Every structure is written in C-alpha cells, then in structure tokens.
Amino acid sequence: MSSTILVVEDEPAIQELIAVNLSFAGHKVLRAFDADQARAILTAGAAAVLKGRLHANQLTYGPGVQLACELGLVAVDHCTYLTDADVDALAQSGTIATILPGVVIGEKAMIGAGAVVIRDLPDFAKLAGNPAKVIF
C-alpha cells in the first residue's frame, strides 16, 4: 500500500536518503522539508482545523519530534532516535509517541495511555507516566 509522505529533516543528505528509501518502498514523496518549512505547512493545516500527525526521527536524530510537540500535533510516529530533550518535550506535551520497532515490549506488559516508553520492557511489566516508569 503506497501513501504520500511529508518528510521533515534539516540535513539535505538525509533528506535525499529518506526520499530514495521511501520511493523504493512504493511511497510517493512530495519532497523533504526542513523544520521551518514543515512548521509553516502544519500551521496552515491547523488553521484549517486539521489535526496533525508526523512521521519523524526514524533514521536519525532530527527536528520532527520537537516540532510535533511545539505544534501540539496529535501524534508523532516512529521516534526511533530520541534525545533527552525529545523525551522531555513529549512528556510535557499532549503529543502521543507511537511505539514502533526499536523498543521491545515484553509479553503481557501493560502501558498506561499517553506513556512515553524509551526502554525495552520485561514480561508482565506495568508502566505509566511521562516518561514511563514501572508502577508495579
């Protein structure tokens, strides 16, 4: 299934790498935008009452997670590369980080709604909070 993807990345070489990889996977990449360009596009969407979701920080550290939190987007997907500042921004915002490859969730582990998970979870762990902590 192909989709159209807005890429947010400040580094031109990384922009090209992402666009090539997504194209090979069958996705249509409109172009790669830097953080300022993406902010303008997402702000215009918000003015049209669109609730944003951003695909960010999958292949390297970048501005996407911070931008999603700054603009109050509904969710930010991938989040494979997070700095401490990214985790703090997520913890202080209402933006949801989608759990994707890179963090192992143990069997029957439970994660509270809105929790920010940054480490592998053992089997049967129960976590909540931002950042997520074991509660019992």
pLDDT digits (tens), the chain, 136 positions: 444 455 565 566 666 666 666 666 665 555 567 788 888 888 888 888 888 888 888 778 889 999 999 999 988 887 778 888 988 898 888 888 776 566 777 788 777 767 777 788 888 888 888 888 888 7
Q: Report the run of H or E that residue 43 belongs to, with start and end.
A: helix 35-47
According to the model, what pLDDT value does residue 25 have?
A: 60
The pTM of the full predicted model, rounded to 2 decimals, is 0.62
DSSP one-letter string for 63-132? SHHHHHHHHT-SEEEE--S--HHHHHHHHHSSPEEPP-TTSPBPTT-EE-TT----S-B-TT-EEETTTT
According to the model, what pLDDT value does residue 59 have?
A: 77
According to the model, what pLDDT value does residue 75 have?
A: 87
What gap in Å lies between CA 112 and CA 104, rounded to an integer? 16
According to the model, what pLDDT value does residue 66 have?
A: 93
Go through the domains of the chain in sequence order and give each one's CATH number. 4-102 (3.40.50), 103-136 (no CATH)
What gap in Å lies between CA 24 and CA 110, rounded to an integer? 36
What gap in Å lies between CA 1 and CA 26, rounded to an integer? 8
What gap in Å lies between CA 75 and CA 62, rounded to an integer? 16
What gap in Å lies between CA 32 and CA 14, rounded to an integer? 9
